[in-house]
């Protein structure tokens, strides 16, 4: 028999959801069957799949060690030593400035050197995270940026904070602002809406003005910070946070981001700046209407510095005072 003690990093979730995280190779039918047959109990008695776990609860699992090993699968956490640019840190959250070129999470080509794996290493060395002592939780990124988009990423150090931050993002209580350099002259702020459809084969998206099958609603606001006859430095307020939203949405409006080789203007990218990635930077987050546990963040604004090459482009236009 294996006994699991519930901590704050597992509490406030359903029994079946916890078990699925704990045994990712187990299907839902198997989990329900084990609960029904009392092979898995909660506090010594029969448990229901919908039971909400609390701190201090105890789960008893009457399964063989070989069975548990197979059902848990390979859950090894990769921790890689690497630079992270810390903007802010407290007991619940870590805000970092992600450089362009670094993935937030692994993909088919790169699984090891990612932002989250660097964070695991950092928190482990500081004594904040030990995967051997966690049942199911690992620190998690609350927002994602494309590989070649730099800027602020919010990481939750514990499960309650992850729940609260995700809920705040869902309800637009954390304002996220970006800076982008686009081709074209924009002199007034604007709010644009549309629908986004993923093109999985070539990892792109398409924007439509009317809803189509499989499309997701998108909402973007922007205002010019600086402009001339040919280019505009924009501040962008991301209301919805879809993959490639800013890049594709602005391009659909006729204002492609400079350096964007997927949605941008090839001639502009090659002739003017020779950037190998888009001039897009998540530079600001603003916390509003925080829950009680995060009330100390109420009204706080955090900013991420631009990288050296982006600053040089700003200097080229003499727009340093934006």
CATH number at residue 33: 3.10.290.10
Asked if the structure places residue 79 within a domain, the reply is no
**Is 163 inside a domain boundary?**
yes
Q: In whole angstroms, give the CA distance from residue 235 to residue 180.
A: 7
Q: 114 and 223: one domain?
A: no
Q: Using 50, 70 and 90 to split pLDDT, how confident is the model at 74?
A: confident
Residues 240 and 264 in one domain: yes
Q: Chain-wide mean pLDDT for the chain?
A: 94
Both 268 and 164 in one domain: the answer is no
Q: What is the Cα–Cα distance from 222 to 317, expressed in whole angstroms?
A: 20
Do 183 and 311 fall within a single domain?
A: yes
Mean pLDDT is lowest, of 153-162, 216-225, 236-245, for 236-245
The tokens of 270 are what?
């090659």
In a domain? residue 118 = yes
Q: Which helix (H) or strand (E) holds 280?
A: strand 280-287
Q: Are residues 53 and 93 in the same domain?
A: no
Q: What are 274-294's pLDDT values in tens digits?
A: 788 999 999 999 999 999 999
Domain check: are 265 and 291 in the same one? Answer: yes
Alpha-carbon distance of 57 to 248, in angstroms, equals 47
**What is the domain count for the chain?**
3
CA–CA distance, 95 with 88 (Å, rounded to integer):
5
Domain that includes residue 202, residue range:
174-316
- Under 8 Å between Cβ of 174 and 298: no
Sort 231 into a burial class: Cβ within 10 Å, 0-12 / 13-18 / 19+.
buried
Those residues with Cβ within 8 angstroms of residue 253's Cβ, 6 or more apart along the chain or in another chain? 192
Residues 111-146 have pLDDT tens digits of 789 999 999 999 999 999 998 889 999 999 999 999
Q: Clarify whether residues 303 and 195 are in a common domain.
A: yes
In a domain, residue 228? The reply is: yes
Domain membership flag for residue 231: yes
pLDDT band at 234 (very low <50, low <70, confident <90, very high): very high
* pLDDT at 241 (0 to 100): 86
Tell me the CATH number at 106: 3.30.2350.10
Q: Are residues 143 and 201 in the same domain?
A: no
Tokens 């993923």 locate to 198
pLDDT level of residue 322 (50, 70, 90 thresholds)? confident
**Where is the domain boundary, 169, 202, 218?**
169
Domain match, 180 and 306 both: yes
Q: Are residues 241 and 303 in the same domain?
A: yes
Active site positions, annotated: 146
Do 308 and 179 lie in one domain? The reply is: yes
Listed in sequence order, the DSSP H helices in the chain are 15-22, 28-36, 65-72, 115-125, 159-170, 245-252, 266-268, 308-316
Residue 78 lies in a domain: no
pLDDT at 108 exceeding the cut of 70 = no
Task: Judge whether 131 lies within some domain.
Answer: yes
For residue 321, tell me if it sits in a domain: no
51, 72, 93: which is the final residue of a domain? 72
Which of 47, 72, 97 represents a domain boundary (last residue)?
A: 72
Compute the distance between CA of residue 213 and CA of residue 92 in angstroms, rounded to an integer. 39
Tell me: do 184 and 163 sit in the same domain.
no
Buried b or exposed e, range 29-55, using 16+ CB within 10 angstroms: eebeebbeeeebbbeeeebeeebebee
- Could you report the per-residue pLDDT of 55-69, keeping only the tens digit for each? 999 999 999 999 998
Largest CA distance in the chain: 73
d(CA 282, CA 318): 21
């Amino acid at each position: 028999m294996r006994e699991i003690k519930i901590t704050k990093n597992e509490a406030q979730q359903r029994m079946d959801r916890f078990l699925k995280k704990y045994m990712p190779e187990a299907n839902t039918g198997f989990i329900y069957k084990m609960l029904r047959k009392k092979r898995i109990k909660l506090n010594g008695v029969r448990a229901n799949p919908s039971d909400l776990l609390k701190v201090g609860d105890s789960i008893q699992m009457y399964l063989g060690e070989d069975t548990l090993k197979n059902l848990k699968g390979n859950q090894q956490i990769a921790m890689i030593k690497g630079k992270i640019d810390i903007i802010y840190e407290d007991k619940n959250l870590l805000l970092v400035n992600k450089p362009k070129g670094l993935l937030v999470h692994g993909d088919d080509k790169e699984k090891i050197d990612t932002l989250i794996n660097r964070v695991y290493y950092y928190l482990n060395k500081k004594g904040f995270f030990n995967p051997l002592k966690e049942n199911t939780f690992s620190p998690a990124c609350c927002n994602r940026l494309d590989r070649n988009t730099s800027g602020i990423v919010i990481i939750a150090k514990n499960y309650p904070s992850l729940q609260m931050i995700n809920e705040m993002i869902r309800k637009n209580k954390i304002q996220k602002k970006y800076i982008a350099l686009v081709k074209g002259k924009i002199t007034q702020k604007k709010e644009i809406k549309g629908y986004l459809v993923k093109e999985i084969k070539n990892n792109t998206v398409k924007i439509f003005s009317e809803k189509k099958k499989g499309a997701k609603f998108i909402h973007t606001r922007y205002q010019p910070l600086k402009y001339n006859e040919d280019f505009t430095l924009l501040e962008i307020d991301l209301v919805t946070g879809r993959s490639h939203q800013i890049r594709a949405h602005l391009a659909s409006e006729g204002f492609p981001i400079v350096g964007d080789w997927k949605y941008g203007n090839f001639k502009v990218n090659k002739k003017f700046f020779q950037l190998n990635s888009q001039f897009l930077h998540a530079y600001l987050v603003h916390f509003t209407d925080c829950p009680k546990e995060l009330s100390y963040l109420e009204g706080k604004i955090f900013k991420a510095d631009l990288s050296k090459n982006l600053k040089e482009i700003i200097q080229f236009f003499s727009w340093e005072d934006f």
